Structure 1
């Protein structure tokens, strides 16, 4: 066991302290047993945080939120020790851990094991909270999607109704414009026909007047030529 402790000390996994056997070396250790019944963390009465906040939590935040007490020898430290010996047989690993435990009176193997139990509970509770948060987020997202679809359908229906009304207005305006154009065209045609009739009448009447005055104009010219010139005044007068 002394050689094992020297190996662990050189690896930086343990530190040597005074005490132990008569020669100053750590006392021989044997395998250990840990109480298999872990303590239970108190159930948090705080409302569940939104899943986006839970996702942002680091492991220390998770442990703190769950109320995991600070350990003099955290489970992570024991985990690093065990991982450093993972190539060794399990019995050797347990003996090495027992040796580390015996070499340092500031902690006992129950400390990291207790810390591990607490953190297992905290991690399980965190995982359950994440699952519940995702389920809640799923339900809320589904409700929002349903609301968005309903809003879309209502808006599209309103727009289509407006388009229908606008098309009806457009159709009425086009029909009115066509009718007005036809009325204006008919009125112009009526005016043109009336004007043409008047023009024709004026031409006919004018020609009749020309025929009427023509004989008089031809007979009036010689008569005017036969009229005697007025007498000139005499010099005596």
Structure 2
């Protein structure tokens, strides 16, 4: 096995890790590796223009994922480093590394991966709940804005209608007053014209008497 690992290391496909003493504490049990079943209550936060980078460590810590002797990310890097191999050879090489290193077993990264998959699912559900809460709050605010708009615009339109009615009444009243004034002026003009015509006719009649009978005698002076 060590010969195969040495060959893989020389080929640049894997990198042998220095032996690491296992931590003094007891190896975590499957129950300890299981993530917490209850997620934190969702908290609606304002949406940002640019999403912040996802803090995976915080996500795993919130879900209660315990540290692993051989994290799943390390196995992913190993698989990626052996991507030039076919699947069967790659699997055999990883099993050989597992057998040669007693500080970890393949169950360690697999259990870590399962716990992190569940943690990511819980976090995804939390994101969905947060988004739904934000959508509800946003819709409520939008409905409030729309209701305020309808009320204000309705009040303005009512005031405009009342002002329009007032303007119509004032226009009608002014037109009636103007018509009355014009009628009174016309009546006065007609009456004055008739009186002037009568006076003119009477004056002509008086002048006709003078023409017919001569001018009146001028009184003599002593």
Give me the TM-score of the superposition, normalised by structure 1: 0.65
Counterpart position of 2:33: 39
Against the structure 1 CA distance between its residues 214 and 13, is the aligned structure 2 distance closer, same or farther, given a 3 Å change threshold?
farther
Q: Does 1:135 align with 2:138?
A: no
Counterpart position of 1:201: 198
- Pair member with larger Rg: 1
Counterpart position of 2:94: 97
Give the paired residue count.
205
Shift of residue 49, structure 1, vs aligned partner: 4.7
Q: Which runs of 5+ in 1 are unaligned?
A: 19-34, 228-237
What are the equivalent positions in structure 2 for 1:1-237 lying under 5 Å apart?
1=1, 2-15=3-16, 17=18, 39-42=33-36, 45=40, 48-50=43-45, 52=47, 56-59=51-54, 61-67=55-61, 68=65, 73-85=70-82, 88-90=86-88, 92-101=89-98, 109=106, 112-214=109-211, 218=215, 220=217
Give me the TM-score of the superposition, normalised by structure 2: 0.68
Q: Give the distance between the partners of 2:67 and 2:139, measured in 1 at CA.
A: 41
Shift of residue 151, structure 1, vs aligned partner: 3.0
Q: Give the distance between the partners of 2:52 and 2:118, measured in 1 at CA.
A: 16
Q: Give the distance between the partners of 1:94 and 1:51, measured in 2 at CA.
A: 46
